[in-house]
Structures are given as structure tokens and as C-alpha cells.
Structure 1
Amino acid sequence: MAKDLPEPKRRNRSLSVADALSGALDPVLKKRGFASRDLIAHWSVMAPKPYDTVAIPDKLTWPRGERSAEGATLLLRCIPGHALAISHEGGKIAAAVNRYFGFVLVDSVRLSAEPFTPGSAGRQQNTNQPSPSTVAKVGALVADIENEDLREALRLLGHALSNRSTEKGK
């Protein structure tokens, strides 16, 4: 006999992705030592420049045996080449995190063994120039459009789409 599963709770409102995923992320973050998502979510606001872009929090480790001990060790992942600066500026980073939270959360900052690889913001953009025949073809198609901004946007879109179709044909 199969168990009758309870009907899922319906919410008559839309949810943000963060709210929908909060239940899935919280157990993972707790294993990494974070009580909440605040340190990771607001890292770019609390970390001093340039460490807000070259490092991310990896783990928060608390001292063993001391229940009321203040000050955890924050492990940071960093882009290779910035490790020495972060190791020297650990006190400055810890002070910035503590200032953000208003109490002593981080006692020391150390480097994680795993490197930080930034997202797609630094990726190389496709610099392939369209062929002269493509430029002429797209130019003829958008020549009748009166609005200059719209015409230019459509021209760029046409060039990008022609590049995609030639890349797939290779």
C-alpha cells in the first residue's frame, strides 16, 4: 500500500528564486559553517576593495570545545596571484566583516586550498567580424527603419546571428 503524500502547500503569490531555493541551500551552507546566507550574499558589499572581486568566502570554522567563543576562522578562495596580499590583509578583511555584522564574527582569515575562478564576466567576447556580404545583406534589410537606435540594434543583432550560423556550420 503506497503512502499518501500530503498535498503540497500552495502559495497564492509569486516567489523569488532566492526564496524558492533557500530551503535547498541552507543545509549545504550549514555544513560549510555558515549560519545564514548573509556572508556569501553580501560579500561584495562588506569586503574591502579589491578583495570583493578577487576572493569569495568558502568556509567558516569555529573553535572546538568553546561554546561561547567569538571569532571564527574565515576561509577564502582567491584568484591565483592574490593569495599573498590576502594573507597579509587578513586582519583588514576580518575587521570589515565584523563591522558589517556589528559583532565579532571573524577572528582570522585564511586561504582555502581550492582556487576561486570568477564567473563569465571576464570571458573573451566573440570578435569575429561579419563578412562584407553579410554586412551588405543586413544593411539592406534594416535600411527602411526610421529610428536610428532601433536600426543600429537590429543591425548588430543581424551580425551576431550571422556569426552564430557560420560557427555552427564549421
Structure 2
Amino acid sequence: MAKDDLPEPKRRNRTMNIADVLAGALDPVLKKRGFASRDIIAHWSVMAPKPYGEVAIPDKLNWPRGERSEEGATLVLRCIPGHALAIAHDGPKIAAAVNRYFGFVLVSTVRLSAEAFTPGSGEKSPKSIQPSQSVAAKVGAQVAEIADDDLREALRTLGHALSSRSERKGG
């Protein structure tokens, strides 16, 4: 099939919510983890009893083998080290809170995952920009006459970032 024979991609002449765009990619992954929807993950901090909304996160739902019954699933949580004992003790309380949120028996028991949960683990740390000597000299000369120290330093940092970005692109 030649490149010209490919159909033109369907265009949506409207703005879309980022959640709607990502739903197509996330839903199959969540289904493999036992979640029918994103609700339990998206609203975890609201439905979980305090402090478990901040120290734990749902990892998966394990449904009983065979026919789905009224028993509910086993909710597997990842937690911050040091909170495992409290979560194990308050498992029925956590399951009741989740069931109360949904209005039916979704979770029968709560178990802990072997993997720990570290809040902010998805956040990127800012990279330290180390410009070459020639770039540092060029940027330094351009901002040297600025009187405000904070503004001069901010512009110097911006100049280093932009120059390293253009170097990565190849010119």
C-alpha cells in the first residue's frame, strides 16, 4: 500500500478534555488490573478514610475465580512503608468506605501489595543545566548590564536552557 493510498486521519474539529484523550490508552491497562473504570483511582483520596487517602493507592482488584458473586473483590493497595500494619488492621474499615462510596459491595477484603508507594514518584526532578563555557560567556555578556540581580539570574538560566535545547536539536 503506497503512502498516498492511506486514508486521511479523522479530524475532530473541537477541543477535547485530556482525560477523554487518555481514556482510550488507560482503560485497557486498568481492565487488566481488575478495574472496570478509573473511578476508584481518580477518587481514592475522597473515598478512603483518613489518612489512607494520602499514604496508600489502589494497585489492583482481584476478583474471585469463576462467576462474579456478591462477595466483592480483593482490593490490593500499595502503601508508604510504615503504614502497612495500620492498613492491615483497618482493612475492613477501608473496604466499607469504598463500598459506601459506590453504593454496593465492590470490595470484600483489603490486602497489601509487595510494592511500596512513594508519593510524588511520578514527578520529574528538574535537570541541572550545565552549559558549555562558550554558551555561558555569550549568555553572561548578554545579561551583564541588567541591574536587578534576580532578573539577571533568571534570564541567565533561561538563556542556558534555550541554548542547550538548540544544541540538542543540532543547531
Same fold by TM-score greater than 0.5: yes
Query: Which amino acid in 1 is paired with 2:9?
Result: P
Deviations, residues 54-100 of structure 1 (Å, cap 9, x unaligned): 00000000000133343100000000000000000001100100010
- Trace 1:92-103 onto structure 2 (pairs within 5 A): 92-103=93-104
Q: Flag structure 1 segments of 5+ consecutive residues without an equivalent.
A: 124-139, 143-153, 166-170
Tell me what 2:106 maps to.
Answer: 105
Distance 1:2 1:54, change over 3 A: same
RMSD: 3.2
Corresponding position of 2:42: 41
Give the drift of 1:118.
0.7
In structure 2, what is the Cα distance between the partners aligned to 1:161 and 1:108?
55
CA shift for structure 1 position 121 = 10
Counterpart of 1:63 in 2: which secondary structure? coil
- Alpha-carbon distance change, 94 to 9 in structure 1, aligned in 2, over 3 angstroms: same
The alpha carbon displacement at 1:10 in A equals 1.8
Distance in 2 (CA, whole Å) between partners of 1:121 and 1:64 is 33
Change (3 A) 1:68 1:29: same
Q: Which residue in the other structure is 1:150 paired with?
A: none
Match of 2:139 in 1: none
Per the alignment, residue 27 of structure 1 pairs with 28
Contact (CA 8 Å) 1:72, 1:107: kept in 2 or not?
A: yes
Equivalent AA in structure 1 for residue 14 of structure 2: R
Q: Return closer, same or farther for 1:122/1:11 CA change in 2, 3 Å cut-off.
A: closer
8 Å CA contact retained: 2:70, 2:105: no
Q: State the TM-score, normalized to the length of structure 1.
A: 0.70
| 1:84 partnered with 2:89 | no
* Contact persistence 2:72–2:108 (CA under 8 A): yes
Secondary structure of the corresponding residue to residue 116 of structure 1: coil
Shift of 1:162: 7.2
